[in-house]
C-alpha cells in the first residue's frame, strides 16, 4: 500500500480495479474473435531431417471428399454469428436455450435442411452432423435426436400416412420431438421394456401406460423443455377372447403428442420431469416421461413391420416377435453409425489441439542451446503420434461404414443389414472407447494449459463420455460382434455363406490356422514389417486364433454351466475377439485408402500413418516380436512427428472450431492470458 493510501481507500475498489474486473467478466461472457492461423510457427532445424513433403490441400481434399462444401457453409454461418457461439461459462438453462437457437438458426437461417438426407443421402447427413457436433457437441446431439432418432423413427418405422403428416414439421422444426425408448430399469435390453400400449377396439385407440416406476422413460432428449412429440416404444397388447384375455405382440413404436402445439403445456396424462444437470451435454434437455392412460389414435402406431386392423386383429409380413424386433432395431442402426462418425470428428479436434500445442510449446533442450519443441521428445511422440495415426484409420473405417449403411438403405438386402448391424456395433464401441481415453491423454499432453476450460478438453471429454453408453453400451455391443463372429464360424463349417465383412474368415480358417504365427515366424527387416500384407496377416491370424479358441472353450463350458454360464465364463475372451476383429477391419480399410489415394505425397503420408497404426497395435496386443516392432514404432512416431503439422492441417478444421488458444500462435496467447486477468 502506498504511504498516502488511507484505510478507506483500501476498502473501496479503485475505478481501475472495477474496470479490469468488468473486462475480465466480459471475456468470459462474450466469445473471443475468430482466431486466424499465423505463419509464425517454424520447425526446429533438427526436426526437418528426412521430412517428406505433404500436399496438405490434396490430402485434405481426399479426406473430406464431396461434402466439404456443406461443412464449410455450416462453419461460416456460425463463425459469422457470435451470438450463437457457446461461451466457456454458461448455465444449464441458458445452454439449453442457446442450443435450440443454434438449431433453429442452422435450419431456418442457414437453410441447412438435413432431414431428407437421412434416407436419401446418409453420407451427406453424417457430414452435416459431424460439422454441427464440432460447433457444440450438445448441438450435435440435439440435432441427432430431432432428425436421426425422432425423425428417423418416423421415416424408417412409419408408412406414407406418417410421412405425409409429420415430415414437414420435423424438417422445419415445428415438430420438435423425442425418442422415448430407454426406461429407468431397461436400457440395452430393449425387449424387456415395460411400457404398455393396449388397443381399445371400442374407441379405435391405443392406451399408453407406465405400469410402474421402473418403466418411466428416462434420459429422453428434448423431453424436459422443448419436445412436442415422442416416439414411444411400448409393448403392444391386444384383447383376446381366450382365458388369458390379452396377447402381447412385443415392442412397437407409437407417436405420442406430449405437449400442446399452441400453449406448449403438457397434455393430459403426460407427466414430464427434468433429469437435471449432467456431467456433460447440458445443452440437451433430458427428461423423464410417465404415461397415465394416454389415448392416441390407432394410426399413431408406426406400422411398417406390424399393424392392427379396426377390429383389433394383428397383421405383419414378419412371422415372429423376434423377427419383427430385429427388423425394427435394424432400421434404427443409423444412430450407431452416426455416433461412430461423430466420435471420430471429436477425436480430430482434440488431436489437432494437442499436436498443434506440442509443436508450439518448447521446454528444455541441450545445454546452452535453445529449448526444443515438446513434440521432439519421444515420450510426447509416443502419446500422440499413434493416436494421430488411429484418427486417420478411424476416419476411413467410418467412411466405409457410412457407405455400407447407404447401400443398405438403398437395397434393403438382408445380408447387408446383418453386416451393417455388427459392423456399426463394433466400430461404435471401439472408436468411442478409444476417443474417450484419448481425450484425457490429449489433456495431459498439454500440461497445465490443457486444464483451462477455454482450451476445450474438459467439455469435449465430458460431452463425449456418454457416447460409450447411449445407442448401446459398448461392452454389450462388443458381445454382439462376438456372437456374430461365432455364428459365421459355425456357418463356415456347415457350408453357409459368409457375409461381406467377414469374408477373410474363410481364408483364416483354411490358411492362418495352418501356418506359423506371422509375427514370430518371419524376419525383422523394416521392409517386411511395413509390408501391408504382413500387417493384415498378423491382425487376421490373431482374430482367427481367438475365434477358434473361444469357440472351443464355449463348447467345453456349456456342458457343465449351460449356454449363459459358459458365455459369462468366456466373456473377456469374447470381448478381446470382437476388438481384434474390428481392428482387422479398420486396418484393411486404411490399407485400401492408402492404395486408392491419387496424390503421391498424400499417399506416402498415409502409408506412414498406416504403418504406425498397424505396428503400434501389434506391439501393444501381441507382445511377441516386441523388440523389433518397438524399435520401428518409435522410428515411425518420429517420422510422423515431422509431418504432424501438415497432417492435422489436412483435417481442415477452421480456427473457430478449434478456438483453443493453446493450439494457435503467439498472438492467441495474449487473448488466453486476458481470460485470467493479465
Q: What angle do CA 94, 97, 101 make, to 5 degrees?
A: 130
Find all residues with CB under 8 Å of 541, minimum gap 6, and list them. 508, 512, 515, 517, 518, 519
Q: Is 182 annotated as a binding residue?
A: yes
User: CA-to-CA distance for 365 and 368, rounded, in angstroms?
Assistant: 8
CA dihedral 190, 196, 199, 202 (to 10 degrees): -170
Cβ neighbours, 10 Å, residue 99:
26
| Backbone angles phi and psi of 287, in degrees to 5 | -140, 175
User: CA-to-CA distance for 69 and 359, rounded, in angstroms?
Assistant: 29
Write out the three cell numbers for 622. Answer: 501381441
Write out the three cell numbers for 169. Answer: 414439421
Of 611, 602, 429, the residue nearest 536 (C-alpha)? 611
User: CA-to-CA distance for 209 and 56, rounded, in angstroms?
Assistant: 57
Query: Is residue 180 a contact partner of residue 225, using CB atoms and an 8 Å limit?
Result: no
Cβ neighbours, 10 Å, residue 101:
14
Find all residues with CB under 8 Å of 596, minimum gap 6, and list them. none
Identify the burial level of 83 via C-beta atoms within 10 angstroms of its C-beta, where 0-12 means exposed, 13-18 middle and 19 or more buried.
Answer: exposed
CA dihedral 210, 167, 138, 471 (to 10 degrees): 60
Query: Is residue 292 a contact partner of residue 267, using CB atoms and an 8 Å limit?
Result: no
User: CA-to-CA distance for 372 and 369, rounded, in angstroms?
Assistant: 9
User: CA-to-CA distance for 258 and 229, rounded, in angstroms?
Assistant: 5
E strands within 417-571?
none
Of 539, 605, 621, the residue nearest 388 (C-alpha)? 605
Three-class DSSP category at 177: strand
CA 558 to chain centre: 36
Write out the three cell numbers for 511. Answer: 490358411
- Catalytic residue numbers read 471
Of 232, 482, 211, 481, the residue nearest 340 (C-alpha)? 481
Of 665, 611, 658, the residue nearest 390 (C-alpha)? 611
User: CA-to-CA distance for 155 and 158, rounded, in angstroms?
Assistant: 6
Output DSSP code: residue 348: H
Q: How far is CA 420 from CA 277, 434, 481, in A?
A: 35, 21, 11
Give 308's strand partners: 314
The per-residue DSSP string of 627-670 comes to HHHHHHHHHHHHHHHHHHHHHHHTT---HHHH--GGGS-HHHHH
In the numeric block, the cell 483500501 is attached to 10
Q: How far is CA 333 from CA 37, 409, 426, 472, 479, in A?
A: 39, 11, 12, 10, 16
Output DSSP code: residue 300: G
Q: End-to-end distance of the chain based on CA atoms, in angstroms?
A: 20
- Residues annotated in a binding site for FAD: 182, 221
- Residues annotated in a binding site: 182, 221
Amino acid at each position: 500500500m502506498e504511504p498516502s493510501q488511507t484505510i478507506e481507500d483500501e476498502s473501496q475498489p479503485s475505478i481501475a480495479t472495477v474496470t479490469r474486473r468488468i473486462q475480465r467478466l466480459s471475456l468470459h461472457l462474450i466469445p473471443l474473435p475468430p482466431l486466424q492461423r499465423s505463419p509464425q510457427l517454424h520447425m526446429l532445424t533438427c526436426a526437418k531431417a528426412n521430412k517428406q513433403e505433404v500436399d496438405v490441400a490434396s490430402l485434405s481434399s481426399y479426406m473430406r471428399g464431396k461434402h466439404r462444401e456443406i461443412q464449410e457453409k455450416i462453419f461460416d454461418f456460425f463463425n459469422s454469428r457470435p451470438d450463437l457461439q457457446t461461451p466457456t461459462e454458461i448455465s444449464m438453462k441458458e445452454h439449453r436455450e442457446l442450443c435450440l437457437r443454434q438449431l433453429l438458426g442452422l435450419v431456418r437461417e442457414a437453410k441447412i435442411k438435413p432431414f431428407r438426407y437421412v434416407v436419401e443421402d446418409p453420407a451427406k447427413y453424417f457430414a452435416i452432423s459431424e460439422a454441427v457436433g464440432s460447433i457444440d457437441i450438445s448441438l450435435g446431439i440435439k440435432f441427432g435426436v430431432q432428425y436421426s432418432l425422432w425423425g428417423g423413427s418416423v421415416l424408417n418405422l412409419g408408412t406414407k400416412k406418417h410421412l405425409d403428416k409429420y415430415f414437414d414439421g420435423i424438417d422445419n422444426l415445428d415438430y420438435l420431438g423425442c425418442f422415448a425408448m430407454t426406461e429407468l430399469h431397461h436400457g440395452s435390453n430393449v425387449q424387456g421394456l415395460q411400457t404398455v400400449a393396449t388397443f381399445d377396439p371400442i374407441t379405435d385407440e391405443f392406451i399408453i401406460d407406465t405400469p410402474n416406476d421402473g418403466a418411466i422413460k428416462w434420459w429422453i432428449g428434448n423431453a424436459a423443455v422443448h419436445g412436442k412429440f415422442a416416439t414411444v416404444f411400448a409393448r403392444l397388447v391386444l384383447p383376446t377372447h381366450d382365458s388369458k384375455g390379452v396377447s402381447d405382440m412385443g415392442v412397437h413404436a407409437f407417436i405420442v403428442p406430449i405437449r400442446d402445439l399452441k400453449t406448449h403445456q403438457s397434455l393430459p396424462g403426460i407427466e414430464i420431469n427434468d433429469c437435471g444437470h449432467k456431467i456433460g451435454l447440458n445443452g440437451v434437455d433430458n427428461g423423464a416421461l410417465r404415461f397415465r392412460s394416454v389415448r392416441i389414435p390407432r394410426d399413431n402406431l408406426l406400422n411398417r413391420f406390424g399393424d392392427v386392423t379396426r377390429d383389433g386383429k394383428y397383421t405383419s409380413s414378419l412371422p415372429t416377435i423376434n423377427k419383427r424386433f430385429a427388423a425394427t432395431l435394424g432400421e434404427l442402426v443409423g444412430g450407431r453409425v452416426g455416433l461412430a462418425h461423430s466420435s471420430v470428428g471429436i477425436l480430430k479436434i482434440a488431436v489437432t489441439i494437442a499436436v498443434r500445442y506440442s509443436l508450439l510449446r518448447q521446454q528444455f533442450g541441450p545445454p546452452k542451446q535453445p529449448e526444443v519443441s515438446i513434440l521432439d521428445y519421444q515420450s510426447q511422440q509416443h502419446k500422440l503420434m499413434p493416436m494421430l495415426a488411429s484418427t486417420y484409420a478411424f476416419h476411413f473405417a467410418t467412411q466405409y461404414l457410412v457407405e455400407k449403411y447407404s447401400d443398405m438403405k438403398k437395397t434393403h438386402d438382408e445380408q447387408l443389414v446383418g453386416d451393417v448391424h455388427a459392423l456399426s456395433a463394433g466400430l461404435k464401441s471401439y472408436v468411442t472407447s478409444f476417443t474417450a481415453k484419448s481425450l484425457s491423454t490429449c489433456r495431459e499432453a498439454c500440461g497445465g494449459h490443457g486444464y483451462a476450460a477455454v482450451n476445450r478438453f474438459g467439455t469435449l471429454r465430458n460431452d463425449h463420455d456418454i457416447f460409450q453408453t447411449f445407442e448401446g453400451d459398448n461392452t454389450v455391443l462388443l458381445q454382439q460382434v462376438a456372437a456374430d463372429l461365432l455364428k459365421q464360424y459355425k456357418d463356415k463349417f456347415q457350408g453357409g455363406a459368409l457375409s461381406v465383412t467377414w469374408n477373410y474368415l474363410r481364408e483364416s480358417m483354411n490358411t492362418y490356422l495352418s501356418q506359423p504365427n506371422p509375427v514370430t515366424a518371419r524376419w525383422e527387416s523394416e521392409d517386411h514389417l511395413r509390408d501391408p500384407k504382413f500387417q493384415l496377416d498378423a491382425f487376421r491370424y490373431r482374430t482367427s486364433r481367438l475365434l477358434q479358441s473361444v469357440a472351443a472353450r464355449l463348447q467345453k463350458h456349456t456342458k457343465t454351466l449351460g449356454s449363459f454360464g459358459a458365455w459369462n465364463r468366456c466373456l473377456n475372451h469374447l470381448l478381446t475377439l470382437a476388438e481384434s476383429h474390428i481392428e482387422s477391419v479398420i486396418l484393411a480399410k486404411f490399407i485400401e485408402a492408402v492404395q486408392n489415394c491419387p496424390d503421391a505425397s498424400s499417399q506416402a503420408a498415409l502409408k506412414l500413418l498406416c504403418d504406425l497404426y498397424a505396428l503400434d497395435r501389434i506391439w501393444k496386443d501381441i507382445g511377441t516380436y516386441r523388440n523389433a516392432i518397438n524399435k520401428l514404432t518409435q522410428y515411425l512416431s518420429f517420422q510422423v512427428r515431422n509431418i504432424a503439422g501438415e497432417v492435422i492441417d489436412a483435417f481442415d478444421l477452421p480456427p473457430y472450431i478449434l478456438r483453443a488458444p493453446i493450439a494457435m500462435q503467439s498472438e492467441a496467447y495474449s487473448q488466453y492470458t486476458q481470460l485470467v486477468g493479465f
